[in-house]
Structure 1
Amino acid sequence: MSGRPEVLFPLFAELTTLDGVGPKIAKVLENMHVLRPRDLLYTLPHGVIDRRRRDTIDGAELPATLTVEVEIGTHRPASGRGRAYRIDVRDSKLAFQLVFFHARGDYLKRQLPEGARRLVSGKVEYFDGIPQMVHPDHILALDEEGELPEFEPVYPLTAGITRKTMHKAVVSALARAVDLPEWIDPLQHAKEGWPSWHVALVQAHAPRSAADLAPTAPARARLAYDEFLAHQLTLALARETLRKAKGRETHGTGDLQRKVLESLGFAPTGAQVRAVQEIAADMGRGHRMNRLLQGDVGAGKTLVAFLALLIAVEAGGQGVMMAPTEILARQHLEGLQPMAASAGVRVEILTGRDKGAERRAKLAALASGEIQVLVGTHAVFQKDVVFHDLRLAVVDEQHRFGVRQRLELGRKGQAPDVLVMTATPIPRSLALAQYGDMDVSVLDEKPPGRKPIKTALVSTGRMEEVVGHLRRAIAEGRQAYWVCPLVDESENTDLAAAEDRFRHLRAALGEGHVGLVHGQMPPADKDAAMADFQAGRTQVLVATTVIEVGVNVPNATIMVIERAEIFGLAQLHQLRGRVGRGDQDSTCLLMYQAPLSEGGEKRLTTLRDTEDGFRISEVDLEMRGAGDLIGTAQSGLPRFRIADMESQAGLMAVAQSDARKLLNDDPALETDRGKAARLLLWLTGQDEAIRLISVG
C-alpha cells in the first residue's frame, strides 16, 4: 500500500491553493489546527444565520438579523468625534437608518449613493424608538443577490480571519471533495438512514436550522461515525498486529501462585480469580496478550498482577512491572516483596537512580535470569537492559502509555505478553477510545474486610472542630492524612499552604506527631517522611497530592482534604482510597470553602453519596469532558474534529464492533469495502494504521 491515493491529493494540497487564502490567512488557519483543505471540510459551522429576504422589517420582532431591499435616502455625516454616520433608508413599508461608526463618508457615498437600491443584511434593533441597522454584515447591489446564501453558516473564527474569508475557503475546499466509495457497513448505513460521505459534507456545511447543527443530525452523525470508525480501525489493526506477532505459549504450574495465596490469610475475590484465569488463558495462547486490568481503588490489582508475573516465572521466564514514577516503583517493590518472599522469588528494582557497579550487577543478574521479576520506571526501556527470557510486562497507570509504547514494548525480549493496569475507573466510551485495541478484565469487587469509608462535608469555618477530632483519634492510636490544596500553578504557594498547615497542626497536636511531604522535597527526605508515617513514628502526614497513588498505610483511617472543592472528582476518589485499607472504620472529611459553586457542590455530594469509582468517573466525564478527564496532552486520546466522545458514546461502541468485524472478514482490506476503508484511513490521517496494514 504505497502513498496516499490520488483521488485525495486535492484535499491534502497547500492551504494557499484555496480561494482567498494567501500565506497570511494560511498562517492564521494553522492556529486553528487547519493545515490542509481536508481540515476545513471537518471544521463544521457551529451556528446558522437566516438571511432569507423579507419585503420589510415591519412586523419583525426586534432585535433580529434581517435581509431587505432598501432605497437609499439622505446621508447624515457624523457631527463630531465619536458620533455616528447615519443614512436614511426605506424598504417597501418602513423607514429606518443604517448606522456606521468611524466611517469614511466618501466611501459610503460611493457604496450607497442617494436614490440607489441595495440589498442590506444585518442586525436591526431599536434606538430611541427608531429601528437601526448598525454596520450591516452585507451590502449588495441587486444583481449580486445570488452571492448571499439564504442560510449563512457561522464558523469558529480566530483573530485575523473574517466570516467572509472563512466561508469562501470552505466553499473552495468543498469543491474538491469528490464522492468516495462507501466504507460504512451497508446494513448499518441503511438502518441509520445516513447520507453518503460527500452529501454529508455538503449538508453539514449548509445548515438551515438549529436541528441541523445537533450531533444527531444525519449528516453530522455520519461524519462523526467516520472518525470513530477510522480510530477504531487503527486500534483494531494495532490489536491484530500485536496478536499476530508471534507470542509464546506460557503455561504456569500453579506452584508459586499457591504459595502466595496460602501466605495471604484471606481468599481472593471472585473478580480477582476470574481476572487471573483470563490472563492465564491469554498467556497460554500462541499470540501476544494485550489486556487491560481495570480496577477501582482497593480492588486488589497488585495481587492479580503478581500472580500473572508468577505464571511467567513458573514457566521458567521473567516478568517486568513498570510504574510511571520512582516513588511508585519503590512502592510496588514494597508491596511485592512479602509475596515474593513467600514464593521464594527474586524481585529487584531498576530506576534512573541506579548507577555504576550496582547497575551493572543488576543488568548481569537480569541477563542471566537470576532476577525473576523486575520492577522499574521507563529506565527498563534503555538499550542496555537485556532480559534472559522476558514473558510478561505489566504496565501500571498507563495514562502516559499509549498504543505506540505498547508496540514499542513488544520489541523488548521475545515479544512479551502485555498487561496494563489502571486504577482509574474509566467510563466505557473512553475505555473504547483509549484502549479499543485491548481486551479488558474488570475488578469490580472489593476484597473481604474492606469497610466502607464514611465521607462527610465540612466547611473550613469548622477547622478547629476537625483538629479536635484528630486529637482524639491520635490518642486512640490512629493515623491521618491531611491533604493541602494545589492553590495555583506555582508550586511555591502550594508549598506555603502545606507548611502553614504543618506548623498549625504541630502547634495543636504536639511536635513529634506531624510529618510533612511535598513535591519540592529532595527524594530522600520525601521517602524518610513517608517511612516515618508508615512505621507509625508520626501520626499525621501533611501532604500536597504526592500521596495520590499507591501509598499503603493500613493504620491510617482519617483523610482530611482541605479545599476539596478545587480538586477533580477522580483525584478526590483516589485520595479517599488511601484510607480504609485496614480493619478499622475510616472517615474522609471534605473541607470546603463556602459558598460552593454548582460544580463544586455536585462533585463533593457525588463523592459523599457513592464509593463506586465507575459511577464517579461517569459523573466526572459528564462534568468535565473527555480531554480533561485524562489530560489531553498525554492522554493518547484521539483529537476528533466532529465526533464527541461523551454524547456519542453509543456510536463509538458500534464503530468498535464494526471495525473488528471488517478486519476479521477482510484482514488485508482488499475487498471493495476494505479498499474504501483504506481511503477513510488516509482521509482521517491515520498513517500509523496504514503502516500497520503494509507491515501486516
Structure 2
Amino acid sequence: MRPESLFPAFAPITSLKGCGPRLAPLVEKLAGGRVQDLWWHLPSGLIDRRYRPRIAEAEPGRIATITLTIDRHLPPRTPRLPYKILGHDGSGKLTLVFFNGREDFLKRSLPAGEQRVVSGMLELFDGQPQMTHPDRIATLEEIDQLASVEPVYPLTAGLAPRTLAKIIDHALARAPELPEWLDPAYQRQQRWPGWREALLAAHRPEHAADLEKHSLPRQRLAYDELLSNQLALLLIRRRLKRLSGRPLKGDGRLRGALEKLLPWPLTGAQRQANAEIAGDMASANRMLRLLQGDVGSGKTMVALNAMLLAVEAGAQAAMMAPTEILARQHAETLKPYCDKLGVRLALLTGRDKGKARVALLERLAAGEIDILVGTHALFQDDVVFHDLALAVIDEQHRFGVGQRLGLAAKGQRDKGGVDVLVMTATPIPRTLSLTAYGDMDVSKLTEKPPGRTPVDTRTVSADRFMDVVGAVKRKIQSGERVYWVCPLVEESEQSDLAAAAERHSSLKQALEPELGEGSVALVHGQMSSAEKDAAMEAFAGGRAKLLVATTVIEVGVDVPEATLIVIEHAERFGLAQLHQLRGRVGRGGRPGACLLVFSGPLGETAKARLKILRETDDGFRIAEEDLRLRGAGEVLGTRQSGLPDFKLADLAAHGELLAAARDDARLILERDPELATERGRALRVLLYLFERDSAIQYLRSG
C-alpha cells in the first residue's frame, strides 16, 4: 500500500484550485495529470524584478520596476494604433504602450494623477523611454506583494504563464515533509538540503545559477530519482537471481569444433566474453548478461558459442531478433556452422503458417530442434520447448523488460530458469547501461576481428548532389553495391515514406538507363515483411545494385559486397545511429566508404557530431559523445528504447550522481535487504514517490 503521506502527491490535478475542466487537459498535456507531476515540472527561466531605477537612469533592454505618477491617457484615433499613457517621476518621463488596450480597464488600473508601480521590459523609442504591455501593474501598497523574482515555466499553447505558476504554487503547498532517505554523511558532504526544501528551492530560483542542473537543490532531486531507479533495478535483479538457474556444463566438443571452422582466430575480447558466459551458465544462479559490441565485433559467434554450450549439455537454445529480416539473417549466418557440427537449427517467424508451422512446433516440443531462431513469434503460447536452457535476445532495446522475462519463462520450472544473454550493437555509454541494463552483468567486445578496416567517412554538402550520384554510378560499374539512406523527416512514418519513394524514383531515372531495369531497389518500414525480404534478397543476390532505404537497414543487415553508403540529411541523425549505419559497409574485405550528405548551414551540435564521426570509429567513444551532445532520450531512440524516462535527472549532466546512486543502492541492500531499518522504511517511501511500486512487491514476495 502506498503510504498515506504520499496521498496528496497522487491526487488528480483537478483537485488544485484554479485547475478546472478547461485548464486541466492543457496542464496534463504539459506535465501530467497528478499533483506530483507539477512538482517535477521545474522552471526553465526567471524574471528578475529587483532592478528598480529612476526613469532617467533606467537601462534599455532590461526588465525594470518603476514607480511613476500617471499624467494622462492618449486613446488611439483608430483601433489599429496603440493606446498610450504618459507618466513621470522626478527624473524623467515614461510612455506606457498597449495594443488593443481596453480604455475602461486601463483608466481603472492607471488613473491619471495617481502613483503606480509598473514592471516590464524597458525600451527606447525615438530616444524616449517606453514600456509596452507592462507584465505587472500595482499600487504602492501592493508593491511588497510583487514577487521580486518569478520563475518561468515551459508552457503549452492556451496556458498563460501566470495561470500555470499559480497552479504549480498550489501543488507545492501540498508537498509533505517526508522522512530523510539519504545517508546523512553523504548528504552533509554534498551540502544538499532536505527533500521538501530542495523541491521548493528548485521552484523559487533567485539567480540564473539556480536554474543550472548542478545547483544543489536540483542535484538533490536528480539524485533521489536516480537512487529510486538503481534501488528498483537491484531489487528486480535480486528477484531474478533468486529464481534458481541450473548449472550447465558442456564437454567442449562443439565449441572446439566451431573454433576450427571460423575463418580467423577469436579476438581476446571474444575469448573473455566466452569465458564469462560459460562461468555464468555453470553456476546455480540464472545468467542475466548483456553482450555489448560494436558493429562487426563478432557478437554472433559469441552467442553461437553460448548456444552450443547449452546443446552440449543436452538442452535447447533460442535466439530472438526484433525483425524478420534480422532473424532470417541470423539463421543464414548460423546454419552453415550448425550443419557442419551436426546441430539442428530452425527458423520461426510470423510468416510461418499452417502445416509447416505445426510440424516445426512438434519437432521443437519433441526435442528434435537444438537451436530455434525467430522473431517475437517465439513468445506465443503454442511455442513449447522440450528443454529450453538459454535465450539469446538481439537488440534488446527494441524489447521491454517484460518481453525479456516472457521468453525466460519458456524453460521447464522443475529444471530451473532459463539463462538470458542479451546482445546489442548499439554501444551504450556506461551511464545509460546502468539505467537501462542495471539488472545485468556486462561483457564488452571492444576489438574488431582481423580483416576489418575503418570506413572512410566524408561529409558532402547537399548542393553537390550530382557529384554524389556520379560516385554511386562509378562504384556500381566497378562491381560493388551501394546503400542510399533517406532521412527521418518528421515523427511521422508517412512523410519518411514519401521522402524515400521520391528519392527512389529520382535515382531510378538517373541510373537505370545505364545500369539496367531493376538495379535500384527500395525498402522501408511500411512494406510488408515479404516485400522487404524480396527487396533485401534482390540486393544481397546482386540483381539490385543500389538499395534506397529508410533506417530499417540500421541493425544487422549484412551484404559483404556493399562498399559505399550515402546518408542524406546526415545532420538529422544521432551519432550512434550514423555509426550503426556506417557499419553496414566494408564487411567483405574491400574497404568501405560513407558519404554524409548535409544541408547547411549546420548548427554547432551538428558540426561537432559530423566531426567526431570523421575522427573515430570507436563506437563506445561515439556513444559517450552522443550522450553529451543530445541527452539520454535520443541516444537509443527514446520511445522504443526501454529506457526509464527521467523527469529530474539528466544523464549527461548527472552521470557521476548515477554512479554514486548505484554504489549507495548496492550498500543499502547488503546491509538492509528487506528495507526494514529506519532508513530502509524511508527508502520505501522514495520508491513509492517515484512509482517503483513493483520493486516493493519484490521485497514482500521475496
TM-score by length of 2: 0.92
Residues 57 and 648 of structure 1: is their aligned pair in 2 closer, same or farther, counting only changes over 3 Å? farther
CA distance in 2, matches of 1:70, 1:529: 75
Say whether residues 1:427 and 2:429 are aligned partners.
Answer: yes
In the TM superposition, residue 164 of structure 1 has moved relative to its aligned partner by 2.4
Residues 657 and 108 of structure 1: is their aligned pair in 2 closer, same or farther, counting only changes over 3 Å? same
CA distance in 2, matches of 1:620, 1:287: 35
Q: Report the equivalent of 2:653.
A: 647
CA distance in 1, matches of 2:467, 2:110: 75
Q: How does 1:521-670 map to 2 (within 5 A)?
A: 523-524=529-530, 526-536=532-542, 540-562=546-568, 564-592=570-598, 599-670=605-676
Q: Is the contact made by 1:226 and 1:680 (CA closer than 8 Å) also made in structure 2?
A: yes
Q: 1:386 aligns with which of 384, 387, 390?
A: 384
Q: Report the equivalent of 1:180.
A: 178
In the TM superposition, residue 315 of structure 1 has moved relative to its aligned partner by 1.4
Q: Report the equivalent of 2:521.
A: 516
CA distance in 2, matches of 1:559, 1:191: 52
Number of equivalenced pairs: 692
Q: Is the contact made by 1:232 and 1:659 (CA closer than 8 Å) also made in structure 2?
A: yes
In the TM superposition, residue 521 of structure 1 has moved relative to its aligned partner by 5.5
Residues 97 and 583 of structure 1: is their aligned pair in 2 closer, same or farther, counting only changes over 3 Å? closer
Q: Report the equivalent of 2:332.
A: 334
Q: Is the contact made by 2:13 and 2:19 (CA closer than 8 Å) also made in structure 1?
A: yes
Residues 319 and 537 of structure 1: is their aligned pair in 2 closer, same or farther, counting only changes over 3 Å? same
In the TM superposition, residue 518 of structure 1 has moved relative to its aligned partner by 1.6
In the TM superposition, residue 463 of structure 1 has moved relative to its aligned partner by 6.3
Q: How does 1:241-390 map to 2 (within 5 A)?
A: 241-390=239-388
Q: Is the contact made by 1:75 and 1:86 (CA closer than 8 Å) also made in structure 2?
A: yes
Q: Report the equivalent of 1:479.
A: 480
In the TM superposition, residue 389 of structure 1 has moved relative to its aligned partner by 1.3
Structure 1 window deviating more from structure 2 (551-560 vs 10-19): it is: 551-560
SS in 2 for 1:431: helix
SS in 1 for 2:117: strand
SS in 2 for 1:54: coil
Q: How does 1:412-491 map to 2 (within 5 A)?
A: 412-414=410-412, 415-458=417-460, 478-486=479-487, 488=489, 489-491=495-497
Structure 1 window deviating more from structure 2 (621-630 vs 594-603): it is: 594-603
* Structure 2 stretches lacking a partner, 5+ long: 490-494
SS in 1 for 2:22: helix
CA distance in 1, matches of 2:673, 2:337: 43
CA distance in 2, matches of 1:537, 1:195: 67
Structure 1 window deviating more from structure 2 (479-488 vs 96-105): it is: 479-488
Residues 14 and 583 of structure 1: is their aligned pair in 2 closer, same or farther, counting only changes over 3 Å? closer
CA distance in 2, matches of 1:616, 1:283: 32
CA distance in 2, matches of 1:301, 1:33: 41
Residues 369 and 57 of structure 1: is their aligned pair in 2 closer, same or farther, counting only changes over 3 Å? farther
Residues 692 and 407 of structure 1: is their aligned pair in 2 closer, same or farther, counting only changes over 3 Å? farther
Q: Report the equivalent of 2:503.
A: 497
1:437 alignment partner AA: D
2:69 alignment partner AA: E
Q: Report the equivalent of 1:397.
A: 395
Residues 100 and 472 of structure 1: is their aligned pair in 2 closer, same or farther, counting only changes over 3 Å? closer
Residues 462 and 663 of structure 1: is their aligned pair in 2 closer, same or farther, counting only changes over 3 Å? same
SS in 1 for 2:23: helix
Residues 637 and 76 of structure 1: is their aligned pair in 2 closer, same or farther, counting only changes over 3 Å? same
Q: How does 1:109-148 map to 2 (within 5 A)?
A: 109-148=107-146
Residues 253 and 34 of structure 1: is their aligned pair in 2 closer, same or farther, counting only changes over 3 Å? same
Q: 1:70 aligns with which of 68, 71, 93?
A: 68
In the TM superposition, residue 91 of structure 1 has moved relative to its aligned partner by 3.3
Q: Is the contact made by 1:238 and 1:403 (CA closer than 8 Å) also made in structure 2?
A: no
CA distance in 2, matches of 1:65, 1:239: 53
1:141 alignment partner AA: T
CA distance in 2, matches of 1:620, 1:215: 19
2:310 alignment partner AA: A
SS in 1 for 2:372: strand
2:393 alignment partner AA: V
Q: 1:695 aligns with which of 693, 697, 701?
A: 701
SS in 1 for 2:384: coil
CA distance in 1, matches of 2:576, 2:270: 23
Residues 594 and 684 of structure 1: is their aligned pair in 2 closer, same or farther, counting only changes over 3 Å? closer
Structure 1 window deviating more from structure 2 (627-636 vs 440-449): it is: 627-636
CA distance in 2, matches of 1:46, 1:591: 35
Residues 503 and 523 of structure 1: is their aligned pair in 2 closer, same or farther, counting only changes over 3 Å? farther
Residues 17 and 144 of structure 1: is their aligned pair in 2 closer, same or farther, counting only changes over 3 Å? farther
Say whether residues 1:239 and 2:240 are aligned partners.
Answer: no
CA distance in 2, matches of 1:537, 1:681: 57
Q: Report the equivalent of 2:406.
A: 408
SS in 1 for 2:56: coil
What do you get for the CA RMSD once the two structures are aligned? Answer: 2.5
CA distance in 1, matches of 2:77, 2:506: 63
CA distance in 1, matches of 2:433, 2:185: 26
2:422 alignment partner AA: V
Structure 1 window deviating more from structure 2 (622-631 vs 460-469): it is: 460-469
Q: Is the contact made by 2:523 and 2:547 (CA closer than 8 Å) also made in structure 1?
A: no
In the TM superposition, residue 328 of structure 1 has moved relative to its aligned partner by 0.7
1:447 alignment partner AA: P
Q: State the percentage of identical aligned residues.
A: 53
Residues 668 and 600 of structure 1: is their aligned pair in 2 closer, same or farther, counting only changes over 3 Å? same
Structure 1 window deviating more from structure 2 (546-555 vs 379-388): it is: 546-555
Q: Is the contact made by 1:467 and 1:508 (CA closer than 8 Å) also made in structure 2?
A: no
Q: Is the contact made by 1:487 and 1:494 (CA closer than 8 Å) also made in structure 2?
A: no
In the TM superposition, residue 111 of structure 1 has moved relative to its aligned partner by 2.3
Residues 417 and 83 of structure 1: is their aligned pair in 2 closer, same or farther, counting only changes over 3 Å? same
In the TM superposition, residue 361 of structure 1 has moved relative to its aligned partner by 1.1
SS in 2 for 1:58: helix
Residues 507 and 462 of structure 1: is their aligned pair in 2 closer, same or farther, counting only changes over 3 Å? farther
Residues 504 and 255 of structure 1: is their aligned pair in 2 closer, same or farther, counting only changes over 3 Å? same
Q: Is the contact made by 1:276 and 1:307 (CA closer than 8 Å) also made in structure 2?
A: yes
Superposed CA deviations along residues 480-501 of structure 1, whole A, max 9, x for unmatched, are 2231423742413412312331
CA distance in 2, matches of 1:463, 1:257: 50
Residues 253 and 92 of structure 1: is their aligned pair in 2 closer, same or farther, counting only changes over 3 Å? farther
Q: Is the contact made by 1:125 and 1:132 (CA closer than 8 Å) also made in structure 2?
A: yes
Q: How does 1:71-110 map to 2 (within 5 A)?
A: 71-110=69-108
1:482 alignment partner AA: Y
2:458 alignment partner AA: A
Residues 325 and 73 of structure 1: is their aligned pair in 2 closer, same or farther, counting only changes over 3 Å? same
CA distance in 2, matches of 1:447, 1:23: 62
SS in 2 for 1:48: strand
2:339 alignment partner AA: A
